[in-house]
Chain A
Amino acid sequence: MPATTEAGVFDESELLAKAREGDVAAFSELVNRYSRKIYRLAKHITQNDTDAEDVLQETFMKSFEHLGDFQGQSKFYTWIVRIAVNESLMKLRKRKSDRTVPLDEPLDTGEDTVVREIAVWDENPEQQYSREELAKILDEAVEGLKPAFRTVFVLRDIEELSTEETAQALGISVPAVKSRLLRARLQLREKLTRFFRRKGDDVFAYL
């Protein structure tokens, strides 16, 4: 939810027009509207607080610098997400010592779509946990994904970008987005099943 400040009464195009003229309050309002989501996105991709803060600052610095280039054909949010994704990926690539899989490594081994555990979940499994517990479970599950899957999942299912927007932001094809998204979703489903399965059920099945 956007912050309800005085500037909140302006719609986004008005805020952008004012920000282009150097109106600090207008640009600050835009920053306030999206900073939480950008920080979350950066944390999910970089998995590091310091990197996430750098990405957060860089994203808004660059968006201000290039505000004149923003044509308004896409949503402002989609535009800054692209900046944030680029900055986050640069951070990942810089961390050479990180034992994560490079983003361009071939991924289509087929193994990632193997389903090992099938159990019925509770109707509203998330309600069994406190907000903090749930956030921890969900975050840790995402953190366990390979970066290539994680970035696609975060953009598509958390930030709710379209398949095309995700492909553009990551510089990969639409089929690649779809195939990574499928793998990410299935892997998360599997991880969450441990927490969300209906108690008393102990059904294992193998495909």
Chain B
Amino acid sequence: MLTCKEFLQELTDYLDSTVDAELRVKLERHINECPNCFVILDTTQKTIKVYKGMQAQEIPQEVHVRLMKAVERKMAAGKTAAGKPGL
């Protein structure tokens, strides 16, 4: 059986489903027999889930206005300095 340390080393690959079948079996056997590692796996999964569910908040209005102005200025300058069309 894998040690807890060995299990932890593989945790990220296991969560990202990039371990091979043989290692997966070993890892799952460890989880079934080790309550601590089961909790670590479960709470790490929840950690990732909660971050993935986080939506990007609106940009502050003034930041957005300055961005769009800068973009428009840049594009206006780009047009006058043309001659380098995209590939």
Contacts and interface: CB of A to CB of B under 8 A. Distances in A.
Interface of A: 20-22, 24, 27-28, 31, 35-37, 39-40, 53, 56-57, 60-61, 64-65, 67-71, 113, 115, 118-121, 125-126, 134-135, 138, 142, 153, 157-158, 160, 163, 178, 181-182, 185-186, 188-189, 192-193, 196, 205, 207
Q: Give the interface SS of chain B, mostly helix, strand, loop or mixed.
A: helix
Contacts of A21: 85-86
B50 to A, nearest CB: 5
Interface string B56-86: 1111000110111011101100110010111
A36 to B, nearest CB: 4
A153 B85 CA distance: 37
A188 B11 CA distance: 14
A106 B76 CA distance: 45
Contacts of A35: 59, 64, 67
A192 B47 contact: yes
Given A57-B67, A182-B12, A189-B44, A65 B57 contact: no
Given A56-B67, A205-B36, 18 more contacts: A21-B85, A22-B75, A35-B64, A56-B63, A61-B71, A61-B74, A64-B75, A64-B78, A67-B86, A70-B86, A113-B8, A115-B40, A118-B40, A120-B43, A125-B46, A134-B50, A157-B51, A188-B51
Nearest to B64: A35
B21 interface: no
Contacts, number: 134
B74 A64 contact: yes
Contacts of B9: 113, 182
5 contacts: A39-B63, A57-B67, A60-B71, A115-B40, A120-B43
Contact of B12 (A119, A181, A192): A181
A68 B64 contact: no
B33 interface: no
Given A36-B56, A36-B58, A61 B64 contact: no
Nearest to A192: B47
Contacts of B59: 35-36, 39, 56
B46 A57 contact: no
